[in-house]
Structure 1
Amino acid sequence: MKKRTVAALAVALTVLTACSNGDTGATLELTAALPDKVPGGTEIRIGDPAIQAIVQASGLDSELTDAGVEVQWANISGGPQSIQAFRADKLDCSAVADIPSLFAAWTGTSTKIVFQSVTVDPVEHPIYRLGVAPGVNVASLADLRGKKIAYSAGQAQGALVLRVLQKAGLTQKDVTLVELTSTGDSYATALGSKAVDVAPIAASQVKIYKAKYPAGTSISHGIRDDASTLYCLTKTVQDAEKAAALKVYVGVRAKALLWQNQHPGEYAKVYLQDTQGLSPQDAKDVVAADGTKGIPATWDNAIARLQATADLLAEQQNHEKLDVTTLVDRRFEKVEAAAAGSAVVSGDAA
């Protein structure tokens, strides 16, 4: 499946309505071993656009086909879109940071994290920087006092804002949080129009932001923000056929991330340029900003970080306390590590 097929398969949520399917296999207990055999034609509906492009460019799609797995790709990622699709039963799994799994639980949608990846050097290659509006003086975290900050409670950017305030010794009362969902370049636009003074923007997009708004600046927040997961409806991993297919997909996904590390130029072309529409130079800059991705040998540290985030959000946003171990399916932990082989990241610094 090549470029034209990628476009055809990256269907919108409305198209997925026609492909929606309910439970297809026998119920699999969450404590049972993952099945090894995939019944032919088993379909899983996945929103994982970057991995989709890599899988098809690298030839890893043949591993899915050979195993009897049919992936119905959706051009969906991130918390708001994926939770909406989950609730409509139009999606099985989606690529997100760590926050959507928490908000899914808090809003009554049962999901399980089945994949964890990390940035090998997360502080040197953060996912976000703090964008600063033109003419606004913010040179350090202490300067956030009194500023208007873009904030989306159910997204990773929102959790980062709370963690930044915590690090700066500030509270929500010391700033003005402006409710604004982060989609596309919405935060950059809000900065450029001075609707907000500060907003978390993707580190890989800082150059583009500054090119559009030359007087805009950005600062580092110094907090680890590299959480990256694949989460699925709980009923998907309880479906024996889909769980078997997902086991194959998780292994292929690990290999796809390693391929991305080894083929940065090709990744820039097939995803950032051909799918995201970036220029060759901007795509190159994004790859450089992203850093090397890794597959952790264990999820222990990732789960500890997720618990700390859940505790902070419960306190700051008046949510119920959550035991985040109920949100992860560690049966897939060894699946991705085995697929990565000797390339696993053994330390995964907390």
Structure 2
Amino acid sequence: MTLAKTLGAVALGLISLGIFSNVAAAEAGAPLLDKVPPGTVLTIGDPVTQKALEVSGLVKELTFEVKWANLSGGPQTSEAFRAHALDVGSVAEIPSIFATWNNLPVRNIAYRERKDPIANPIYRFGIAPGVDVKSLADFRGKRIAFSPGQAQGTLVLRALHAAGLTKKDATLVELPSTGDVYPKALASKQVDIAPLGGVNIRRYVSQYGSDGATLIEHGLRDDPSHLYAPQWVLDDPAKAAALAEYVRLWARATEWVDQNPEIWIKEYYIGQQGLSREDAEFLVTLSGTQVIPDSWADVKKRHQETINLLADELGYKPFDVEQIFDNRFEKIAAGALPRSQ
């Protein structure tokens, strides 16, 4: 092995241990290239945007090679980052926080939210048949499905906190939040309460409402959506430039989906996901309107509150939110939109 390769391997190891965190922070401030250098390749895990780019035709505007990876969400993307098999992923608020706590240096590079997050929540709490829960205060003493390291788990902690409770006031039952695990756990009374998202919200009451299954609103913001990338990808000038281009198209694809709900229902929800029209229309209504802010000030403030809450409840060391945002990208997504949102 050459000296250069040896030093590179040592540096990568130190980065993974968090030793180079200050160096990484400094490198994140390097100006982005105006154009993507020829030969640049990105591996992207963002299946929803991939479909939106293809259906809208925006995919034709990519000036670099993309290798699409059919994965998203924190556990999958973090694992792929560690294997150096992915350059950017689509996730909610939590993965970048837990990646940092697990010595995986990552940064958020794009953010979107829902215009009315209270009227259009991502999750509602499912209540098991026969369990009397009318408000968050009734969570005291209940068995609650909990997925640490994911958005659903953090929502549980937020709900408890909003009711003046802590995790010690309930029994948190660790269960994966995949597929229909939570609805089945509720129906079988393995848990009393579980956060449900997507079509599981509609299907849970449809399938088990006659048995007494119910839903309650949490009244909390649960809508953050991010693109994030490993620090070593962002430190590569060519890949960083490609990420900036992708962020612009990601923003335009987001707006296109909002403006073309009928096409999206047909091509994505029904055509690709195999959902019924009723489920597809429910999801479009549930999502409401997506917006992309041109400032991350409020985003970072809420993120810092989440970091502090998770650190306090789960025993982690809090850190400065600036560690997980690459500020070079703050204006890029909103700046790509032809109109003010």
TM-score (norm 2): 0.89
Quick check: 1:302 aligned with 2:299?
yes
Residue 223 of structure 1 corresponds to which residue in structure 2? Answer: 220
Tell me which of 231, 244, 248 is aligned to 1:247. 244
Dislocated runs of 4+, deviation >6 Å: none
Per-residue deviation, residues 197-249 of structure 1 (Å, max 9, x unmatched) = 10111155311121222232110001111111011111111111111111110
CA shift at 1:173, angstroms? 1.8
Question: Given the alignment of the two structures, is residue 189 of structure 1 paired with residue 184 of structure 2, yes or no?
Answer: yes
TM-fit CA distance, 1:137: 1.4
| Corresponding position of 1:123 | 118
- The AA in structure 1 aligned to 2:295 is T
Partner residue in 2 for 1:320: 317
- 1:282-297 maps to which residues of 2 (within 5 A)? 282-297=279-294
Q: From 176, 179, 183, give the equivalent of 2:174.
A: 179
C-alpha distance in structure 1 between counterparts of 2:268 and 2:200, whole Å: 15
Select 2:93's aligned residue among 77, 95, 98.
98
Contact 1:101 1:327 survives alignment (8 Å): yes
Match of 2:193 in 1: 198
Instruction: Give me the whole-angstrom Cα distance separating, in 1, the residues matched to 2:319 and 2:215.
Output: 34
**What whole-Å deviation, never above 9, does each CA across 1:272-319 have from its counterpart, x for those lacking one?**
222222111110111001110011021110110000000000111010
Whole-Å separation in 1 of the counterparts to 2:179 and 2:66: 25
Question: Are the aligned partners of 2:166 and 2:313 in contact in 1 as well (CA < 8 Å)?
Answer: no
Question: d(CA) in 1 for partners of 2:171 and 2:37?
Answer: 54
Letter in 2 for 1:156: A
Alpha-carbon distance in structure 1 between the residues aligned to 2:120 and 2:171: 28
Instruction: Write the deviation string for residues 247-279 of structure 1: whole angstroms up to 9, x where unpaired.
Output: 110000000000011001111222222222211
Deviations 1:96-118 (A, max 9, x none): 11100000000011101000001
Is the CA contact 1:126–1:203 (under 8 Å) kept in the aligned structure 2? no
Aligned-partner SS, 1:342: coil
Counterpart of 1:260 (choices 237, 257, 260) is: 257
CA contact (8 A) 1:165 1:171 kept: yes
Partner AA of 2:68 in structure 1: W
Q: State the 1:35 CA deviation.
A: 0.7
Find the counterpart in structure 1 of residue 273 from structure 2.
276
**Gap regions ≥5 residues in structure 2:** 1-23
In structure 1, what is the equivalent of residue 35 of structure 2? Answer: 37
Q: Which residue of 2 aligns with 1:238?
A: 235
Partner Cα distance (1:275, 1:83) in 2: 25
Alpha-carbon shift at residue 30 of structure 1 (Å): 1.5
Q: CA deviation at 1:39?
A: 2.1
Q: Which residue of structure 2 lines up, in the alignment, with residue 132 of structure 1?
A: 127
Gaps of 5+ in 1: 1-26, 345-350
1:82 aligns with 2:77: yes
Q: Distance in 1 between matches of 2:206 and 2:123?
A: 17
Q: Give the whole-Å Cα distance in 2 for the aligned partners of 1:72 and 1:85.
A: 13
For residues 39-90 of structure 1, give each alpha carbon's deviation from its aligned partner in whole angstroms, at most 9, with x where no partner exists. 23321111111111100000000111xx2x1221111111111111111111
Which TM-score applies when normalising by structure 1?
Answer: 0.87
Alignment correspondent of 1:50: 48
Give the drift of 1:342. 2.5
Contact 1:205 1:286 in 2 (8 A): no
Matched residue pairs, number? Answer: 315
* One-letter identity of the residue aligned with 1:171: T
Q: Deviations over 1:3-54 (max 9, x none)?
A: xxxxxxxxxxxxxxxxxxxxxxxx9931111111112332111111111110
1:90 and 1:172 mapped to 2: Cα distance? 36
| Map 1:331-350 → 2, pairs under 5 A | 331-344=328-341
